[in-house]
Each structure stands twice: as structure tokens, then as C-alpha cells.
Amino acid sequence: MNSKYIAEDKLLILEITEEIDHHQAEKIRRKADDEITKFMPRKVILDFKDVTFMDSAGIGMVLGRYKMINMIGGKLEMENVSVPLKKIFDMSGITQICPIIS
């Protein structure tokens, strides 16, 4: 996972570069939590551009990051979500609390 912080906008972009299964979700969680704690952003964007597979661990990873950023008064959004991932997010209800912006 790569991250980019834009200080003037207090925006943290987390580019997920691997498939999201149980093993990878834990690594992504730790890295994302470290970055959120470090920068305390107003907005976090999860970029799923390079993700072609995600299981239920990915849903938990997104929900956990939503709760974390929400506790500090921030907002979580998702971008570059493929059609299969969008179906998973829609069925789980995540899109009702974390919008897909592109």
C-alpha cells in the first residue's frame, strides 16, 4: 500500500496495491492506522485502482478505517472501485456511509 498526504487539504490518500484477503487486510489495517494517527487528516480516500479481488476481510478493513476517521471528525471516501468490488460494497451497505467518488 502506498500513501500520499496533502498537508494544505489535510487529505490522506491510501492507494491499495494488493488483493485484499484476510492476510493482506491486516497489513493494510496497520499501515492505514499508522498513517491516520500520524497525519490526523480531515479526509481519507481509499484508492482501489489496483484491487481486483476482495473478500469479507476487506469489508471489515474499510469499516474499521471509517470508524477510526469518524472518531477524529474526518470523512472516508473510496475511489477507483471496480464493478465487482462495488457490488460487494453495495451489498454490505458500506456505500451508504462511505461514498464512492469516482
Is 29 part of any domain?
yes
pLDDT of residue 70: 96
Q: Do 71 and 38 contact (CB within 8 A), yes or no? A: no
Is 81 part of any domain?
yes
Taking the C-alpha atoms of residue 22 and residue 45, their distance in angstroms, rounded to an integer, is 21
Determine the structural domain holding residue 33 and report its residue range: 2-96
pLDDT of residue 25: 96
pTM for the model stands at 0.94
Taking the C-alpha atoms of residue 9 and residue 67, their distance in angstroms, rounded to an integer, is 21
pLDDT per position as a tens digit, 7-48: 999 999 999 999 999 999 999 999 999 999 999 999 999 999
Taking the C-alpha atoms of residue 89 and residue 38, their distance in angstroms, rounded to an integer, is 27
Q: Output the CA–CA distances (angstroms, integers) from residue 73 to 3, 100, 102, in the order listed.
A: 20, 19, 23
Is 73 part of any domain?
yes
Residue 65 belongs to a domain with what CATH number?
A: 3.30.750.24
Name the domain count of the chain.
1
pLDDT of residue 18: 92
Is 101 part of any domain?
no
Is 72 part of any domain?
yes
What's the average model confidence in pLDDT over 51-65? Answer: 95
